[in-house]
Amino acid sequence: RQAYVNGRYQPHSDAAVHIEDRGYQFADGVYEVVPVYNGILVDEDLHFDRLDRSLAELQIEEPMSRPALKLVARELMRRNGLSNGFVYMQVTRGVAPRDHKFPKDSRPALVLTTRQMKPHSPQVLAEGLKVITVTDQRWDRCDIKSVSLLPNVLGKQAAAEAGAYEAWQVDGDGMVTEGTSTNAWIVTGDNKVVTRDATHSILNGITRITLLELIKAEGYSLEERSFSVAEAQEAREAFLTSSTSFVLPVTQLDGKPIGNGHPGILTGKLRHHYMDYMQTLRKS
């Protein structure tokens, strides 16, 4: 298995960055996770758009042109025989003597890795996932896909310790923002699909964006708004989305079963719509 590090393909096991990389010292960088499904990079332009936006918000230069980056991603997939899984890309402000302010003449550093993933287990799809809630301790710019992920790490660890898969983060008003690495959704008693509106409080997931389009195309009713923990616990269905989860049912929130405690019917339909959508994508 190989990784791409600043212009070179290297064995993954000894690929390394400099000790004064600002990503390492300050979490001064951004990343993307692009899903690969049957050999195809899913919604890659949306991911590259979001990468460009994250970089621009932090005034980090683009490490290379989009066509060049697309070639590197494909070459790494080829070398690693990647068919299903994801490509991870990280860009930091680069290497410079440690000093908080932006260095004058650093070059952005670029790393790409890939990971093969198995399909989601039938058990997860049949039973759904447990989710806990934690206080959202993050900053005011969760729309930037920054590698500064400590609150997300602590949230996911708390979930794991509670025997859950994910932690939904709750803001000061008692409203769910999103998971630590996924967007959060509910289905109300009158079959409205609800997910938080994409402000600075959440990362606007690419899976979220595509699923919203599919929901609109299918004519399901939809509300982009905040929802509380209580509303989620009383909801008919719940689910989460991300580039590695696609659409996965949530059947328990803080120990309370959601709906009848089984994966929701609409959730199942939406997962199918999303999987069908990925099947229609062609290599470019």
* Catalytic positions, written as ranges: 145
**Ramachandran region, residue 217 (left: φ > 0; alpha: ψ -120 to 50; beta: rest):** alpha
Q: Which of the stretches 1-9, 106-114, 175-183, 269-277 binds ligand PLP when contact is defined by CB under 6 A?
A: 175-183
**Residues 6+ away with beta carbon under 8 Å from 123:** none
Q: Which of the stretches 117-125, 160-168, 204-212, 274-282 binds ligand PLP when contact is defined by CB under 6 A?
A: 204-212
Q: x-or-dash pattern for ligand PLP, window 220-259, by CB under 6 A? A: ---------------------xxx----------------
Angle separating helix axes 44-57 and 206-218, nearest 10 degrees: 130
Q: Which of 23, 63, 205, 249 contacts ligand PLP by CB under 6 A?
A: 205
The residues in 27-46 that bind ligand PLP, with binding defined as CB under 6 A, are 33
Q: Which of 203, 212, 238, 270 contacts ligand PLP by CB under 6 A?
A: 203
> Which among 169, 168, 232, 222 has a CA at the least distance from the CA of 197?
222
User: Phi and psi (nearest 5°) for 256?
Assistant: -95, 130
Cβ 199 to ligand PLP shortest distance, Å: 13
Torsion of CA 131, 28, 138, 59, to 10 degrees: -110
Q: How far apart are CA 70 and CA 134, in angstroms?
A: 37
Q: Which of the stretches 107-115, 205-213, 230-238, 262-270 binds ligand PLP when contact is defined by CB under 6 A?
A: 205-213
Task: Give the residue with the Cβ less far from ligand PLP, 96 or 193.
Answer: 193
Cβ 141 to ligand PLP shortest distance, Å: 12
Residue 3 interacts with ligand PLP (CB under 6 A)? Answer: no
Measured in whole angstroms, the distance separating CA 84 from the mean position of its chain's CA atoms is 16
Cβ 95 to ligand PLP shortest distance, Å: 25
Strand partners, 238: 186, 250
Q: Which of 196, 208, 236, 271 contacts ligand PLP by CB under 6 A?
A: 208
Is the distance from CB of 231 to CB of 210 less than 8 angstroms? no
Q: How many residues bind ligand PLP (CB under 6 A)?
A: 13
CA angle 231, 156, 252 (to 5 degrees): 35
Residue 201 interacts with ligand PLP (CB under 6 A)? Answer: no
Task: Give the residue with the Cβ less far from ligand PLP, 124 or 144.
Answer: 144
What is the pairing mode between strands 40-41 and 85-92?
Answer: unpaired
Residue 178 interacts with ligand PLP (CB under 6 A)? Answer: yes
Q: Which of 2, 146, 182, 201 contacts ligand PLP by CB under 6 A?
A: 182
Residues in the chain, total: 284
Q: Which of the stretches 64-72, 179-187, 257-265, 270-278 binds ligand PLP when contact is defined by CB under 6 A?
A: 179-187
**Residues 6+ away with beta carbon under 8 Å from 49:** none
CB-based burial label for 95 (10 Å; 0-12, 13-18, 19+): buried
Cβ 46 to ligand PLP shortest distance, Å: 8
